[in-house]
Structure 1
Amino acid sequence: MAATSGTDHSVPVERWSSVEEICKHLGVSRDTIYRWIAGRGMPAHRIGRLWKFKLSEVDAWARTKPEPA
C-alpha cells in the first residue's frame, strides 16, 4: 500500500461553457457571440461542431473591449 501525505494537490478544472451560457452571462444574442468570434477575436474553442468557452477567458477578453455606444 502506498503512503499518502493526506494533502490534495489537484487543481480545480474549469468547465466548458456553451454558447447559450455565454449569451446569458454577457447579456447578448447568439448572433452577437458568433460575430464576436469571427470579427473581434473572442476566445472560443471548436469542439466538433460546437463552440465552447472558458468563462475566465471570456471575462478577461471582455475586460479589454470598450463598452458599445
Structure 2
Amino acid sequence: MNDMEDRWLSMSDISNYLGVSNDTIYKWIDKQDMPAHRMGRLWKFKKNEVDNWVKTGGAAAEPSARNLESE
C-alpha cells in the first residue's frame, strides 16, 4: 500500500472525501460512532476505517433507530 494512501486524514480531508460538511462529521462522531481518533485538539481519520463504517451503514443509520436495536 502506498504511504500516502495510509496517511492520517484531517477533518477537511475526510469531509471533502465524503462530500459532507465538518458539522456532519462532528455529528457522526458523536451520535453514530464514526471511527475517528483525537490527537490533541484535532480529529484524524483512517480512510479504510471510514470506508468500512460507511459500507456497513454507519452513515445511513438513524441514531434513534440504532439505540432501539441495542436495547
Question: TM-score w.r.t. structure 2 length?
Answer: 0.73
Q: Which has the higher strand share?
A: 1
**Partner residue of 2:69?**
none
Task: Name the CA distance, whole Å, in 2 between partners of 1:22 and 1:55.
Answer: 8
Q: Does 1:36 align with 2:28?
A: yes
Q: Which has the larger radius of gyration?
A: 1
Instruction: Name the aligned partner's letter for residue 48 of structure 2.
Output: S
Q: Which has the higher helix share?
A: 2
- Pick one of 44, 47, 53 that aligns with 1:55: 47
Task: Name the CA distance, whole Å, in 2 between partners of 1:31 and 1:59.
Answer: 19
Task: Please give the secondary structure, in 2, of the residue aligned with 1:16.
Answer: coil
Q: What is the CA-CA distance between 1:16 and the residue it aligns to?
A: 0.3
Gaps in structure 2 of 5+ consecutive residues: 62-71
Gaps in structure 1 of 5+ consecutive residues: 1-10
Q: What is the CA-CA distance between 1:64 and the residue it aligns to?
A: 1.0
Instruction: Name the aligned partner's letter for residue 37 of structure 1.
Output: I
Equivalenced residue count is 58
